[in-house]
């Protein structure tokens, strides 16, 4: 478990404690049960323009590049170059991406088509790679809680990056980029290409048998093969 996640949990813990204290404070001053919170009001209508697929291509994916491109290593002829935020402009760009992700992912809560009309994804043929938009929709409708959990998971990474920008913490940015990758993939595996879950396991096993190494899909430094 990363330091970031541990800190997140502690923060939640403190939040819950604060709530408990204020609730018990209330009930000691009056015996009446507290009024339920008013339902959340929006300031206006939310009307989608594009499908989930287009929202991904034109907003979520470009936003994520602000984070993915901010940290890493590149091999050049002169050797390995570390990429990391150095200037205020670099940190500002990262904050832009984190904000776009944290706020933008909530647009997935607005019911919208999964793909443009007539686009069936790679869902036809004998061994389809992707679910059709109708299959994705049916999956979501069977379990909207899971869909919202995937949305919140991505939003949490956005919040994590915003926090990292405040502290200019390069080390934790590595973790955050990894968490972001996981948040994207875990939704895609659940809703877009679930067949890959089995395929990836199979590939992992083959790699392990071949080389004695684990497939590295999350850009963490893997131990040298024995």
100 forms part of the interface with ligand HEC (CB under 6 A): no
In DSSP terms, 80 is beta-bridged to 75
The reply on whether position 64 binds ligand HEC by CB under 6 A is: yes
Tell me whether residue 81 or residue 110 sits nearer to ligand HEC (CB atom). Answer: 110
* Minimum distance, C-beta of residue 60 to ligand HEC, in the bound complex (Å): 5
- Local structure of residue 108 (DSSP, 8 states): G
Distance CA 168, CA 180 (A): 18
Tokens of 21: 């204290």
- Asked if residue 114 binds ligand HEC (CB under 6 A), the reply is yes
**Ramachandran class of 204: left when φ > 0, alpha when ψ lies in -120 to 50, beta otherwise:** alpha
Answer yes or no: are the C-beta atoms of 153 and 183 closer than 8 Å.
Answer: yes
Interface region with ligand HEC, contact rule CB under 6 A, candidates 16-24, 37-45, 59-67, 204-212: 59-67
Q: Which residue number, 122 or 206, has a Cβ lying nearer to ligand HEC?
A: 122
Q: How many CA atoms lie within 13 A of 126 on its CB side?
A: 0
Residue among 172 and 190 whose Cβ is closer to ligand HEC:
190
By CB under 6 A, tell whether 98 contacts ligand HEC.
no
Contact between 151 and ligand HEC per CB under 6 A? yes
73: left (phi over 0), alpha (psi -120 to 50) or beta: beta
Nearer to ligand HEC, 2 or 123 (CB): 123
- Report the candidate in 42, 23, 44, 21 with the shortest Cα–Cα distance to residue 34: 23
Return residues touching ligand HEC (CB under 6 A): 52-53, 56-57, 60-61, 64, 108, 114-115, 121, 133, 136, 147, 150-151, 154, 180, 183-184, 187-188, 191-192
């Amino acid at each position: 478990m990363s330091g970031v996640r541990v800190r997140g949990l502690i923060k939640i813990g403190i939040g819950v404690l604060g709530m408990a204290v204020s609730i018990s404070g209330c009930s000691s001053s009056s015996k009446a049960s507290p009024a339920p919170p008013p339902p959340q009001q929006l300031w206006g209508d939310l009307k989608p323009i594009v499908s989930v697929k287009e929202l991904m291509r034109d907003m979520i994916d470009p936003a994520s590049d602000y984070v993915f491109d901010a940290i890493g290593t590149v091999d050049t002829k002169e050797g390995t170059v570390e990429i990391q935020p150095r200037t205020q402009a670099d940190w500002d760009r990262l904050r832009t991406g984190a904000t776009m992700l944290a706020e933008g992912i909530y647009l997935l809560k607005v019911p919208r088509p999964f793909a443009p009309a007539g686009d069936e994804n790679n869902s036809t043929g004998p061994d389809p790679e992707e679910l059709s938009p109708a299959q994705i929709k049916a999956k979501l409708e069977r379990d909207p809680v899971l869909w919202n959990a995937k949305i919140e998971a991505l939003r949490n990474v956005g919040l994590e990056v915003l926090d990292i920008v405040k502290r200019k913490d390069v080390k934790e940015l590595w973790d955050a980029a990894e968490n972001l990758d996981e948040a994207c993939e875990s939704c895609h595996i659940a809703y877009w290409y679930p067949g890959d879950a089995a395929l990836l396991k199979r590939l992992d096993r083959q790699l392990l048998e071949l080389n004695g190494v684990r497939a590295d899909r999350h850009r963490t430094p893997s131990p040298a093969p024995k």
